[in-house]
Amino acid sequence: MRFIREDQYLTGVAVPVSALHSSESCGIGEFSDLVPFSTWCAQAGLAVLQILPVNDTGFESSPYSALSAFALHPVYIRLQSLPCADLAVKEIREMKKESADSPRVNFYETVRKKTALLKRIFAEAIKDRQERDKVLAWAGENGWVITYAVYSLLKEKNGFASWKEWKSMTSPQEGEIDQYWIKHQGEVLYYAWVQYHLEEQFTQAVKTMEKAGVALKGDIPILMNEDSADVWSRRQLFRQEFRAGAPPDFYTDHGQNWGFPVYAWEAHKADGYAWWKSRLKQADKFYHAYRIDHVLGFFRIWATPENEESASMGHYIPYSCVTKSELEKGGFSEPRITWMSKPHIYTYEIKKKLGSSWEEVLPHLERIGIEELFLMKQDLRGSRDIRALGLSKPAEDGMLEWNRNLLFIPLKKDSFSPAWHLRRSRAYESLNHEEKERLERILKTHETKSEQEWEKLGENLLRILKETTEMFVCAEDLGVVPACVPVVLEKLRILGLKICYWAKDYKQPGEPYIPVTAYPYQTVCTLSVHDTGPFREWWQNAKQEDRIDFCRNSLMMNRIPEDPSYTKKTAESILRAVLKTSSRLCILQIQDFLALKSELRPENPEEERINTPGTVNETNWSYKMKPSTDALAADKGLAERICNLIVSSRPEKN
């Protein structure tokens, strides 16, 4: 859908659908709750409502672990709006009561209970011939739902295990999915029926939002869960031998291994990027704008081999590989190349690491001639193989550490990628000054070639995405950003992201803040995102000098709040300052707006955090707004206060 306001400075709010709740909600925010919430947004002058992904993730609460790139999550359906819902009036009433009393979302229980009720309602509703024909006709126009329905039924029949563990149809052949759909239509039709009504409820909510003058901004994750209908049915589009993630950084020496397969872009290109285009056209039914999660992955993706756990053993795809012949021409002999590309372990360090039990690892090592030097046996392809050996903890830790001590990571035959930590590897440290200079020249040449390749790939892919629909495109461009990324985003008029306390000039001494009033127009400005705490948490945890530095040099405030407790007055001062940003869009999390009123926020700001990256716990993705949408709608004072802040601070036009 076309973005409803072109070339204007706009303000918006970000909130997960799951965090909304009203008197009609059953366990979790539902698509229908977007209606009263958008009414409040309009009153508050908030022109854009940004949500997290809403695809089906099964019992997994993370919205970024989708079972389908197309299907919506049944948990967001409003049961009482379905035909024959009167069969479950009592249970629906009980669910509404339970969720109203709960301070957080119990995702698993809500999915379990809603699924049971949906199946009961479906069993009665589908008896109506008109209802059945309507769903079948819709499924005929939306081919993805046939694949999704068959996958979902098979997954349930196999105890919800990954398709890799199914008893049959682990690799469906051409026509097999359609045959299964026909043969088992009585069962698979349930999944299509649910999707039909989800789409109906979602589109109706968006139409009402449009009338209120509020645009909906969705979130489209770049990657797909390996256990998904898409990877199961379109294996050729994914490279399952690699796992996507992020390289090591200041926070983690091992980087991040997200567990998702990477894309086989050549296969996508061969069919005209049909899967991506279909995915975007489906999203276009609901969204006026969308956020591309991890846009850097369209330029290059950090890929870790599936036999490795640590992302420090990964490399970028695509990458201009260093070849054996190139190294030989650079003066490196074959033994030297082996020294740089295979872990070498000295006897003395084995003894130092393991003491009297040092011989425990010897069966898994190969001695080099008569030297006190070993290589790992060839059947140990990576850390997963090492863990499978059943070694003692010290021996396993030692083997894993030695496995990572590389200058080059071998790729295909006689080609290599530089290891992320290459400059602290034994091989690099052993090179003399002249050898290091020669090696650095080779690496620099390939970095330049890779950047050129990344720019070409990223521009091509993003152009295809942008031209497929009329949706307005924004990008999450955080992380280690290649120089070509901002160039391409500006060229294609795709908005980048600025998180105020991370927006610094890292090339300057002292890494000073970039003032919010100096952000590029083609950006989205925010104080916090779902992977950080609300701004109130940052403020209360920051040192006084850091708060002063931020207020003075990022928000350009003359009068700096001194209270470390983040009072309502402080919240208003911060919002007034950030709303002066030169970014085209200023989209703040709902928590940062609710901070204006103490009754609408919990005492502890950590309770408002949506997700803590790298952790698995019950609170992740369970955030629930303290006020209901009904209470917000009745609170005219808060809406008026926000609206006045926007009117007095935001520029009207570019």
pLDDT in tens, 467-525: 999 999 999 999 889 999 999 999 999 999 999 999 999 999 999 999 999 999 999 99
Q: Which residues, at least 6 apart from 314, have a Cβ–Cβ distance to it below 8 Å?
A: 242, 245, 247, 255, 257, 302, 303, 304, 305, 308, 420
At residue 569, the pLDDT reads: 96
- Euclidean distance between the first and final Cα of the chain, in Å? 23
Q: What is the mean pLDDT of residues 128-135?
A: 98
| Angstrom distance (rounded) from CA 25 to CA 97 | 9
Q: Where are the beta strands (DSSP E) in 413-516?
A: 415-418, 472-475, 496-499
CA–CA gap between residue 654 and residue 7 (Å, rounded): 7
- How would residue 6 be classed by pLDDT, with cut points 50, 70 and 90? low
pLDDT of residue 460: 98
Site of tokens 């207020």: 551
d(CA 243, CA 260): 5
* Contact of 255 with 246, CB cutoff 8 Å: yes
Mean pLDDT of 437-458: 97
pLDDT of residue 410: 95
Whose tokens are 């000098």? That residue is 545
Q: What is the mean pLDDT of the chain?
A: 96
Beta-sheet strands, E only, within 126-260: 215-220, 238-239, 242-246, 256-257
For 257, the 3-state DSSP assignment is strand
- pLDDT for the residue 608: 98
What are residue 49's phi and psi, to 5 degrees? Answer: -115, 115
pLDDT band at 653 (very low <50, low <70, confident <90, very high): low
The answer to whether residues 612 and 620 touch, using CB atoms and an 8 Å cutoff, is yes
Question: What DSSP designation does 69 have?
Answer: S
Measured at the CA of 298, the angle between CA 294 and CA 301, to 5 degrees, comes to 75
Upper half-sphere CA count for residue 43 (Cβ side, 13 Å):
17
CB 289 within 8 A of CB 4: no
Phi, psi of 343, rounded to the nearest 5 degrees: -70, 125
**Residue of 562, 623, 573 lying closest to 595 (CA atoms):** 573
CB 495 within 8 A of CB 524: yes
Could you report the per-residue pLDDT of 583-604, keeping only the tens digit for each?
Answer: 999 999 999 999 999 999 999 9
**What DSSP line would sit under 586-633, residue for residue?**
EEEEHHHHHTTSGGGS-SSGGGG----TT---SSTT----SS-HHHHH
How many C-beta atoms surround the C-beta of residue 633 within 10 A?
16
Average pLDDT over residues 326-349: 96
Strands in 80-154 per DSSP E = none
- Classify 289 as helix, strand or coil: strand
Question: Does residue 221 have a pLDDT over 80?
Answer: yes
CA–CA separation, 416 and 430 (whole Å) = 19
Q: What is the pLDDT of residue 270?
A: 98
**Listed residue (566, 495, 499, 502) closest to 530, CA to CA:** 499
Mean pLDDT, rounded, for 558-567: 92
Q: Is 368 helix (H, G, I), strand (E, B) or coil?
A: coil
Residues 6+ apart with CB under 8 A from 2: 288, 470, 471
User: Of 438, 245, 473, which is closest to residue 332 (Cα–Cα)?
Assistant: 438
Other residues' Cβ atoms within 10 Å of the Cβ of residue 228: 27
Give 260-273 pLDDT, tens digit per residue: 999 999 999 999 99
Q: 130: which residues sit within 8 A by CB, 6+ positions away?
A: none
Q: How big is the CA angle at 475 (ends 470 and 478), to the nearest 5 degrees? A: 175
Is residue 218 pLDDT above 70, yes or no?
A: yes
- Domain assignments of the chain as residue spans, ordered by start: 315-436
Question: In this model, does residue 4 exceed pLDDT 70?
Answer: no
Mean pLDDT of 376-387: 96
Total residue length of the chain: 654
pLDDT of residue 340: 97
Query: Minimal CA–CA distance to 436: which of 341, 340, 345?
Result: 340
- Could you give the angle at which helices 129-141 and 185-211 cross, rounded to 10 degrees? 80
Q: Minimal CA–CA distance to 60: which of 625, 621, 614? A: 621
Residue with tokens 């012949």: 325
The pLDDT score that the predictor gives to residue 252 is 87
Please list the residues that pair with 653 across neighbouring strands.
8
Task: Write down the residue that tokens 């420090």 correspond to.
Answer: 312
Partners of 13 in the β-ladder: 49, 588
Nearest to 625 by CA among 12, 14, 10: 14
| Single pTM value for the model | 0.95
The alpha carbon torsion through 171, 176, 182, 187 (nearest 10 deg) reads -10
Residue whose structure tokens are 């026909």: 182
As a whole number of angstroms, the distance between CA 89 and CA 93 comes to 6
**Which amino acid does the sequence have at 488?**
V
**Which of these, 500, 552, 505, lies nearest to 523 by C-alpha position?**
500
153 closest CA partner among 166, 142, 140, 164: 166
Q: What is the pLDDT of residue 248?
A: 92
pLDDT of residue 251: 79
Question: pLDDT grade, residue 417 (50/70/90)?
Answer: very high
The answer, yes or no, to whether residue 130 has pLDDT greater than 90, is: yes
- CA separation for the pair 36, 506 (Å, rounded): 42
Structure tokens at 289: 């704008």
Residues 420-439 have a mean pLDDT of: 97
Give the pLDDT confidence score for residue 101 in this predicted structure: 86
CB count in 10 Å sphere of residue 113: 21
pLDDT beyond 60 at 654: no
CA-to-CA separations, 1 to 8, 168, 285, 317, in angstroms, rounded: 17, 40, 7, 33
pLDDT for res 2: 80
Helix (H) or strand (E) holding 329: helix 324-329
Summarised one tens digit per residue, pLDDT across range 50-84 is 999 999 999 999 999 999 999 999 999 999 999 99
